[in-house]
Structure 1
C-alpha cells in the first residue's frame, strides 16, 4: 500500500501514478492520471495510490470523501474527464481487491463509492464475485448505456448501414454536398506517433467558437483544463495513442474528434465543430464519416462513444451498448445495512434531480414559445 506520503515522485503533494505496463484503459494510463493530479485535483484533495509498487501490479487512486458516525466514505478518485475507472491492469485483480479493502478498513472506512465503472469487463466480473464471496453488499446507484461500435466484427459495415437506415444516410450525403459547394471537403486521419501541436490549436479554436465557448465549458475557457488537455494529448500523440479525425474544408478544419486508443480499442473523447457552419451539421457528418473510416481500419476492433447516455447522435449511429455503473460498496459486513440505505437515498436524490431538470427544461421551453 502506498499513500501520498510514501509515494516516490509525488505530484504537488499528491500521489504520482505508478504505471504498470500496457493499460487496457487509457484513462488510467500514467500520463493521464499524473496530468489530472497536477492540473485538475483540488489543492486540499489527498489522493492515495494503492498498489503499483511492482511492475506487474494493478494500481488504484483513492480519496476520502467524508467522515460519518458509521465510518468514513471513500471514493475511487476520478475527475470530470475520466470516462472509465477500470483499473489499468486487471491480471491480478483479486490481489488488488484484497489490498484495497484491507486498506479501507485500516482507514476506518465503511463504504466505497466507485463511479463510471463499465460493467462488461473481466474486472467487473471479478469484483462482483469477490464481493459476494466476502459477504459485502454492493448497490448500483446509477446505470447508463453507452453506444459502442464493434468495428472489427464481420459484416460491421452492413450492420452499421442497416442500423443508420437509408433516410439518415441520405441526410448525411446531403450535408456533404452542401459543404462541397463551399470548397474541397476531405476527412484527414491523424494516427500513429505525431506532434499534437499540428491540430490542438485548431481544436481549441473550433470548440470555443460554439455553444461550449458561450457557456464557458470549452476546454480553453479554463486554464487548468487547457493545460491538462495539452499535457495528455501531447503525451498520447507522442506515444501513438491519439487518434484524431479532422473534417476539413479547403484544408481548414471545420470539425475535429479526439480519441484515445489502446491496441485495437478506441475511447472517443472530445468532438468540436465550427459554429459558423453548424447549419450544415459538420460535427454530425464527421461522426458518420469517421465511423466508416474506423470500420475500414483493420487495426480497430471496438470503439466506446464515452457519452453520458445513448440518447444522442452516437446512439442513433451505433447499435451496440455497454453498461456503465456507479456503485456504493460496503467495506465490511457490519456496514451492509447502512450501505443499502445510503444507496436507496442516493438513487432517490438522482431521480428527483432528473425530474427537476426535466421540469425546468419544460418551463424554459414554454417561455421561449410565448408571443
Structure 2
C-alpha cells in the first residue's frame, strides 16, 4: 500500500512528467520546489504568490480555499515558467459564465509569476492553459497595470489580435527604498509635520522607552505574530469582526504562512513598544528586491500619539537602510490616509478582462455581467457603511 505522503509525491510528479501540464490543477499539486524556483526567477515580484503564503491561504483562509492553478511549462515540459492561482467565475462571484478569475491571495496583488528568462512564452502558456479549461476569458484582479507581468500578457495578446479590457483601476502608494530614509521623510512630510510627530513620540516615551523591533527568525516571529494579532483584534477591525484572529480559518492561515516564510527570510514582523507595551505592529513580506506591507495593528489606547504613523516612519527608515530592498508596495487602498502622505511614489493597480479567443460574443456578456456585479457590490458596501454610522 502507498502511504499518503507517497501518493502526494506521485501526484505532484505526474503534473510535470506526463509530457504536458494539465490545463488546471489543484494548487497543492504544483511541485513546491518548481514553484519556489519560479518565484526566484519571476519577472515581477509578488510576495502574495509565494508558495508558503498562497498555499496557506488556499488551505484555510475564509472564502479563498481550494484554489486551482494555471501552470505554464517550457518547451521541454519539465520546467515551470508561469503560474497563476485561479477560481472559476462562478466560485468567485456566482456568475455562471465560462471564465476564470485570479485567486485573491489576501494581499491585494494578483500579478502572475512569469519567468524572466521566458516571459512571453510563460504568458502565452498561461493563456493557452486557460483556453484548454474551456474558459472564454481570464479576469486578472489587482494586477500592476504598468508592471512587467501585465506588459508580457499584453504583448502576447497583441500578437494574437486580442486586446485586454480594463474593468477598473486605482492608484496606490509605494516606497522608493533606494533613497535615504531621513531625506525621504523630510521631503514627504515637511519639517512642521515631523516636528509634531517627534513631539508625539516624546509624549509616548512617558510610558517607557520607545523601541522599534524587527522579528525575522522563526523563534522570534511566532511570538511577534501573536502580539500583532492581539493588537489588530483590539482595534476597529476587532469591533467589526474582521480581525484575522477572530476567524479560525484566517488565524490558521496566518499562523502557518508567517513562520514558513520566515524560514526563507521572506517575512518579518515589525513592532513598536513603549516600555514593555506593544503599541503597533505590522507584517511585511519580502520577495526579491521588493517589500509588501501586508497589515498594521495598533493599540488604540495610544491613538493620540499616532502609533501607526510612528511605526511606519521606523519601517521606512528600516527599508531604506536595507540594500536588498529597492521598493515597497503599501498594498493599501486608494487615498489611504495614513500611508499616502509618507510613501509618495504611486503606481496603478487594476482589474483586467482578458479575452481568450477572437471575436467571441461571450466576452461581451462576461464583461456586462462583471459590470453589473461591480455596481451591485458597490451599492451593498454603501448600504453597510450607512448602517454602521
Same fold (TM over 0.5): yes
1:70–1:262: structure 2 CA closer, same or farther, 3 Å change rule?
Answer: closer
SS at match of 2:157: helix
Is 1:213 matched with 2:238? yes
| d(CA) in 1 for partners of 2:82, 2:352 | 20
SS at match of 1:31: helix
Cα distance, 1:94 vs structure 2: 2.1
Q: Say which of 12, 20, 28 aligns to 1:8.
A: 12
In the other structure, the counterpart of 1:176 is 201
In the other structure, the counterpart of 1:317 is 342
In the other structure, the counterpart of 1:299 is 324
Is 1:248 matched with 2:273? yes
SS at match of 1:277: helix
Is 1:34 matched with 2:55? yes
In the other structure, the counterpart of 1:111 is 137
In the other structure, the counterpart of 1:368 is none
In the other structure, the counterpart of 1:123 is 149
| d(CA) in 2 for partners of 1:165, 1:213 | 34
With normalisation by structure 2, the TM-score equals 0.81
Cα distance, 1:304 vs structure 2: 0.6
1:43–1:30: structure 2 CA closer, same or farther, 3 Å change rule?
Answer: closer
Bigger shift: 321-330 or 346-355? Answer: 346-355
| d(CA) in 2 for partners of 1:135, 1:70 | 27
In the other structure, the counterpart of 1:51 is 72
1:46–1:363: structure 2 CA closer, same or farther, 3 Å change rule?
Answer: closer
Check the 8 A contact 2:107/2:294 in 1, yes or no.
no
When the two chains are superposed, the root-mean-square deviation of aligned CA atoms in Å is 3.1
Cα distance, 1:280 vs structure 2: 2.1
SS at match of 2:300: coil
Bigger shift: 266-275 or 349-358? Answer: 349-358
In the other structure, the counterpart of 2:261 is 236
Structure 1, gaps ≥5 residues long: 366-371
SS at match of 1:120: coil
Check the 8 A contact 1:150/1:156 in 2, yes or no.
no
| d(CA) in 2 for partners of 1:279, 1:72 | 51
Is 1:142 matched with 2:142? no
Bigger shift: 159-168 or 44-53? Answer: 44-53
Cα distance, 1:297 vs structure 2: 2.9
| d(CA) in 1 for partners of 2:95, 2:231 | 49
| d(CA) in 1 for partners of 2:304, 2:119 | 49
Structure 2, gaps ≥5 residues long: 1-7, 15-24
Check the 8 A contact 2:97/2:366 in 1, yes or no.
no
Q: Say which of 61, 78, 103 aligns to 1:77.
A: 103
Check the 8 A contact 1:257/1:270 in 2, yes or no.
yes
1:72–1:350: structure 2 CA closer, same or farther, 3 Å change rule?
Answer: closer
With normalisation by structure 1, the TM-score equals 0.85
In the other structure, the counterpart of 2:189 is 164
Give CA-to-partner distance per residue, 1:138-184, whole Å, 9 cap, x none.
Answer: 1111111110110114x564243122122321221122011111211
Check the 8 A contact 1:20/1:55 in 2, yes or no.
no
1:55–1:251: structure 2 CA closer, same or farther, 3 Å change rule?
Answer: farther
| d(CA) in 1 for partners of 2:203, 2:365 | 56
Is 1:225 matched with 2:250? yes
SS at match of 1:58: strand
| d(CA) in 1 for partners of 2:251, 2:219 | 19
| d(CA) in 2 for partners of 1:127, 1:203 | 37
Cα distance, 1:83 vs structure 2: 2.3
Cα distance, 1:116 vs structure 2: 1.0
Give the count of matched residue pairs. Answer: 356
Cα distance, 1:217 vs structure 2: 0.5
Give CA-to-partner distance per residue, 1:217-254, whole Å, 9 cap, x none.
Answer: 11000011001001110111122111222101113321
Is 1:190 matched with 2:202? no
Cα distance, 1:315 vs structure 2: 0.8
Cα distance, 1:363 vs structure 2: 8.5
